[in-house]
Structure 1
Amino acid sequence: MTPQSDEDEVWRQIVASFNDTAERDSADQPWPDSENLPAEPTRRVVKPPEGEPGEDDDLPRDGADDSTGEGSEDEEAEEGHFVPPPPPPLPKLDLVTKLAWVALFGGPAYLLVAAMASWHMEGWALFTAVAAFIGGFVALVVRMGDGPPNDSGWDDGAVL
Structure 2
Amino acid sequence: MTRQSDEDEVWRQIVASFNDTAERDSADQPWPDSENIPVEPMRRVVKPPEEEELDTEDDEPRDEGDDEEEGEGHFTPPPPPPLPKLDIATKLAWVALFGGPAYLLVAAMASWHMEGWALFTAVAAFIGGFVALVVRMGDGPPSNDSGWDDGAVL
Per the shorter chain, which TM-score range? 0.5 to 0.7
Residue 145 of structure 2: SS of its match in structure 1? Answer: helix
* Larger RCO (alpha carbons 8 Å, 6+ apart): 2
Q: Which runs of 5+ in 1 are unaligned?
A: 67-74
Shift of 1:83: 0.5
Shift of 1:64: 12
Aligned length: 150
Q: C-alpha separation between the residues in 2 aligned to 1:156 and 1:97?
A: 28
1:31 to 1:94, Cα distance in 2 relative to 1, 3 A: closer
Shift of 1:77: 3.4
Q: C-alpha separation between the residues in 1 aligned to 2:47 and 2:6?
A: 69
Maintained 8 Å contact 2:26/2:33: no
Shift of 1:51: 13
Maintained 8 Å contact 2:100/2:126: yes
Aligned to 1:122: 115
Shift of 1:46: 12
Which ranges of 4 or more aligned residues in structure 1 deviate by more than 6 Å?
1-32, 38-53, 62-66, 151-155
Residue 79 of structure 1: SS of its match in structure 2? Answer: coil
Whichever structure has more helix as a proportion of its residues is 2
Aligned to 1:62: 63
Q: C-alpha separation between the residues in 1 aligned to 2:133 and 2:12?
A: 68
Taking structure 1 as the reference length, what is the TM-score of the superposition? 0.53
Q: C-alpha separation between the residues in 2 aligned to 1:34 and 1:141?
A: 60
